[in-house]
Amino acid sequence: MIDQWGRSVDYLRISITDRCNLRCKYCMPKNSVRFMPKEDLLTIDEIFRVAKLTSELGVKKIRITGGEPLVREGIIELIRDIKALENIEEVCMTTNGILLEENLERLISAGLDRVNISLDTLDETLFREITGGGDIKPVLRAVERCVEKGLKVKLNTVLMKNYNEKEILEFIKLTERYPIDVRFIEMMPIGAGKAFRSVTTDQAIALISEEFQLLHCESGNNNDGPACYYKTEKGLGKIGFISPMSHSFCRSCNRIRLTAEGFLKQCLHWKKGKNLETLMRHGISDEDLIKVIEECIYLKPYEHGFLENSLSSSSDKRNMFQIGG
């Protein structure tokens, strides 16, 4: 699938729920969290239908996200069915890791290729503070179990001033201890995240370079996504930097998003897209649904407007758990 800017779109992120078993400060507002009625969520069959049709159009990689995807019943079967699609090369999942260890064997058996674990701190007390009372121990156990089982692991660490910038070097050391990738992500001004200041990629690299020599890693495919990767001399895993604010990667964006309520979202920032749930529940044929998906992808915006258009009526004002970041 090619959009109006000539970009090949072959990556679909699917949020299967807006519910989560944590309450991370930058993801959810402090009070009045309202989840969608369950009947408004796409059914597992509806999710698979979209996955199948987009795979026929050229999607090769699908990532399952939330909220927290492991709280959704039917996720194992969904991953198995998506992995069996002829054109799908990789099925991944992003999780907070709380329920990962207990589901790991079934996820691997279903064909999960890679897991990204959101982990913003290695400190037990700070983890509880950031996540609204979460326990870090099952997350750390899950990381070790994934390594033992040979499942590819990436840690996603959102950089926040006055929270976790002092731990950056500790995360670097993890890549020398385990064959896992750590990706530092700049905070984006989405929902509750607007109240936080980010450590920029350049600031993080400057801090790391005081103790480690970073060696640039060339990427040979799109599996690395928007991250720019490095390694240390002793590194078993890579160190990635995702810089949506300071070094926009929109010109090479190859992804679209399906939200939990069935909205095919063209860009994380903008509200633009198409409500596929309504169309499917009104009986649209596969042939016509494919046309809708193709048109939606073709009209994908060129870039986000986080820096210039945060107050635009076209920007998405929801929190990250509702968007399925």
Residue 49 belongs to domain with CATH number: 3.20.20.70
The reported pTM is 0.91
Query: What pLDDT score was predicted for residue 307?
Result: 58
Tens place of pLDDT per residue across the chain (325 aa) = 899 999 999 999 999 999 999 999 888 866 767 899 999 999 999 999 999 999 999 999 999 999 999 999 999 999 999 999 999 999 999 999 999 999 999 999 999 999 999 999 999 999 999 999 999 999 999 999 999 999 999 999 999 998 999 999 999 999 999 999 999 999 877 767 777 888 899 999 999 999 999 999 976 555 556 789 999 999 999 999 998 777 777 788 999 999 999 999 998 767 789 999 999 999 999 999 999 999 999 999 877 666 564 555 556 555 565 666 5
Q: What pLDDT is attached to residue 320?
A: 61
**What is the per-residue pLDDT for 15?**
97
Has residue 285 been placed in a domain?
Answer: yes
- Residue 209, in any domain of the structure: yes
Residue 238 contacts residue 215 (beta carbons within 8 Å): no
Domain contains 3:
no
Q: Which neighbouring-strand residues pair with 95?
A: 117
Cβ contacts of 118 within 8 Å, gap of 6 or more: 24, 94, 95, 96, 97, 155, 156, 158
Q: Where are the alpha helices (DSSP H) in 132-167?
A: 137-149
What is the tally of structural domains in the chain? 1
Asked, for residue 183, whether it belongs to a domain, the answer is yes
What pLDDT, on the 0 to 100 scale, is given for residue 234? Answer: 97
Return the pLDDT at 43: 98
Domain span at residue 221?
Answer: 11-323
Whole-angstrom distance, CA of residue 30 vs CA of residue 314: 25
Whether 4 is covered by a domain: the verdict is: no
In a domain, 1, yes or no: no
Q: Where are the beta strands (DSSP E) in the chain?
A: 11-15, 61-65, 90-95, 114-118, 152-159, 181-186, 215-216, 228-231, 239-242, 255-258, 263-265, 273-275
pLDDT for residue 104: 98
117: Cβ contacts below 8 Å, ≥ 6 apart: 94, 95, 96, 97, 100, 139, 142, 143, 146, 153, 154, 155, 156
Q: What is the predicted pLDDT for the residue at 219?
A: 60
Check if the beta carbon of residue 29 is closer than 8 Å to that of residue 192: yes
Whether 35 and 65 have beta carbons less than 8 Å apart is answered as no
Q: Quick check: is 141 in a domain? A: yes
Q: Which pLDDT value is given to residue 324? A: 67
Q: Does any domain span residue 104?
A: yes
Helix or strand holding residue 209 (H, E): helix 201-209
Q: Residue 143: what pLDDT?
A: 98
